[in-house]
């Protein structure tokens, strides 16, 4: 069973080292890339007020948080929920720095010690879309994820949106699987398909296809003034260099 947790936090400001703290944690669970509905959500009393700029982002008032639990009070339950899972976060360095600070203050090991792995969807998006905006909103727009309800940042809503974004970002990386219904509560036993067992038929190009291919290469070579890589590689000098 592949268990992944999509996680997001809201905070009083931008720096855990400068005294800012987590005010909200939102998590959604994926099992075999499917949402289970087994979500985890906390509002937390940070013991300090949020910065004005942070309030404009999340809209969670200081008064609302006054009677909420401190992180240390929910730490055990939270760690039980995430333990052993792959954690998926957008801009993971930010959220993990805050989680590490909260765990440190609670006398507990850092976040990575409790989970299987941490995956940063911001880093993934930068590789897939270099030079483009890769905020959560930008990725929702690019990947067709409906974020019309996101007027303010909220940890649980953002985690739900990020789950859809992650599924879309990794759709082309899904392994080829054969699944069988186990008949036990609708769960699936999933086995990886061994591609080495496939025997693929090789279809050689026809004479007409080879001639058409050669004609296209000739046109490209002519347009480049004879500087195409394959022409250079065919010269005796280049062949001698390649041969050693």
| 48-103: pLDDT as tens digits | 999 999 999 999 999 999 999 999 999 999 999 999 999 999 999 999 999 999 99
Calculate what percentage of the chain has a pLDDT beyond 90: 65
Confidence class for position 180, pLDDT limits 50, 70, 90: very low
Domain map of the chain by residue range?
A: 3-192, 207-243
Distance CA 230, CA 212 (A): 17
Eight-state DSSP code of residue 85: S
How would residue 178 be classed by pLDDT, with cut points 50, 70 and 90?
very low
Its pTM surpasses 0.75: no
Please report the sign of the dihedral spanned by the C-alpha atoms of residue 227, residue 229, residue 231, residue 233. Answer: positive
Kindly list the catalytic residues: 153
CB count in 10 Å sphere of residue 113:
10
The dotted CATH code for 3-192 is 3.30.420.10
């Amino acid at each position: 069973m592949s268990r992944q947790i999509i996680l997001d936090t809201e905070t009083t400001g931008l720096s855990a080292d400068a005294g800012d703290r987590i005010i909200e944690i939102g998590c959604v669970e994926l099992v075999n890339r499917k949402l289970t509905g087994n979500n985890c959500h906390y509002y937390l009393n940070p013991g300090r007020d949020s910065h004005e700029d942070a309030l404009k982002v999340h809209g969670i008032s200081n008064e609302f948080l006054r009677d909420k639990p401190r992180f240390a009070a929910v730490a055990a339950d939270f760690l039980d929920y995430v333990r052993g899972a792959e954690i998926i976060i957008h801009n993971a360095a930010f959220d993990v720095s805050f989680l590490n600070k909260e765990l440190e203050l609670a006398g507990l090991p850092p976040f990575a010690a409790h989970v299987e792995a941490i995956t940063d969807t911001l880093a993934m998006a930068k590789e897939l879309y270099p030079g483009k905006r890769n905020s959560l909103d930008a990725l929702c727009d690019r990947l067709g994820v409906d974020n019309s309800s996101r007027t303010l940042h909220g940890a649980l809503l953002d985690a739900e949106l990020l789950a859809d974004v992650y599924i879309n970002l990794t759709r082309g990386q899904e392994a080829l699987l054969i699944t069988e219904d186990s008949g036990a509560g609708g769960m699936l036993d999933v086995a990886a398909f061994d591609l080495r067992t496939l025997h693929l038929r090789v279809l050689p190009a026809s004479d007409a296809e080879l001639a058409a291919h050669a004609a296209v290469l000739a046109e490209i070579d002519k347009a480049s003034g004879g500087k195409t890589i394959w022409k250079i590689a065919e010269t005796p000098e280049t062949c001698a260099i390649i041969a050693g």
